[in-house]
């Protein structure tokens, strides 16, 4: 197996482990999105607010993780190029967390809203694809420390997942626009916002995967 070279160095490894902790927490928040979207689509509102708050709490924890990592990097004796690579990874995985948090806020705002039956399966498929893409990114980030070949396979899965999310989004938006007059502006806007921010999270996954590709190709053994 071939690991990325700088991950064998103690200081870099500590920062990498902090990135990994951050991404795992974001993954847990993404997993909860499935429960929230399912409850929203099924009209089960009793736990929806609590689930959204749990997601937001997790993403706020990633904000604190990011602050600690920036402090650690700033006070370290890292080579500037290595510091930049790790900070670049952190920047993009934080955007994944931001997209998940924004999705949770929009879901919370949609409590009591009736999702049109024409969109139920698409919204559920969308959140499944988002979770799948986040999982692939988490796996890529973890495996970069052990076998970059496997990490590159996971990077490719992220790119495929992002395309899948984009395809589902287009289908959902086409139906949403067609139903705009029927469902009213409030429902239209709330569903559109949920879709938009779910896509934002996967766009950030794609950007993170591209950064990992650059790191792997520049520093493989």
What domains can you pick out in the chain, each with its CATH number? 7-219 (1.20.58.220)
Q: What is the pLDDT of residue 17?
A: 87
**Taking the CA of residue 38 as centre, how many other CA atoms within 13 Å lie in the half-sphere pointing to its CB?**
8
In whole angstroms, what is the distance from residue 106 CA to residue 122 CA?
A: 17
Please list the pLDDT of the chain residue by residue as tens digits (221 residues).
555 655 555 667 788 888 899 999 999 999 999 999 999 999 999 999 999 999 999 999 999 999 998 888 777 666 777 778 888 899 999 999 999 999 999 999 998 899 999 999 999 999 999 999 999 999 999 998 888 889 999 999 999 999 999 999 999 999 999 999 999 999 999 999 999 999 999 999 999 999 999 888 876 65
Q: What is the pLDDT of residue 8?
A: 53
C-beta separation of 134 from 96 below 8 A: yes
CA torsion 109-112-117-121 (nearest 10°) is 50
- Phi, psi angles (nearest 5°) of residue 42: -90, 0
- Phi, psi angles (nearest 5°) of residue 4: -70, 135
C-beta separation of 96 from 137 below 8 A: yes
Rounded to a whole number, what is the largest CA-CA distance in the chain? Answer: 61
The DSSP call for residue 77 is -
């Amino acid at each position: 197996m071939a690991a990325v070279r700088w991950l064998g160095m103690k200081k870099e490894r500590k920062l990498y482990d902090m990135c990994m902790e951050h991404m795992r927490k974001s993954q847990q928040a993404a997993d909860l999105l499935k429960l929230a979207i399912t409850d929203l689509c099924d009209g089960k509102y009793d736990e929806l607010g609590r689930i959204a708050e749990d997601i937001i709490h997790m993403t706020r924890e990633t904000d604190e993780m990011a602050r600690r990592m920036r402090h650690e990097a700033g006070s370290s004796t890292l080579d500037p190029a290595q510091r930049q690579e790790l900070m670049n990874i952190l920047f993009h995985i934080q955007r994944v967390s931001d997209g998940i948090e924004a999705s949770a806020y929009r879901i919370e705002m949609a409590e009591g809203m009736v999702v049109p039956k024409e969109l139920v399966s698409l919204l559920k498929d969308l959140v499944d694809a988002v979770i799948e893409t986040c999982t692939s990114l988490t796996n890529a980030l973890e495996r970069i420390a052990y076998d970059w070949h496997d990490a590159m396979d996971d990077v490719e899965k992220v790119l495929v997942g992002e395309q899948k999310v984009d395809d589902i989004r287009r289908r959902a938006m086409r139906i949403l626009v067609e139903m705009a007059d029927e469902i009213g502006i409030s429902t239209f806007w709330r569903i559109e916002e949920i879709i938009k921010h779910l896509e934002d999270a996967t766009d950030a996954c794609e950007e993170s995967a591209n950064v990992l590709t650059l790191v792997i190709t520049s520093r493989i053994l």
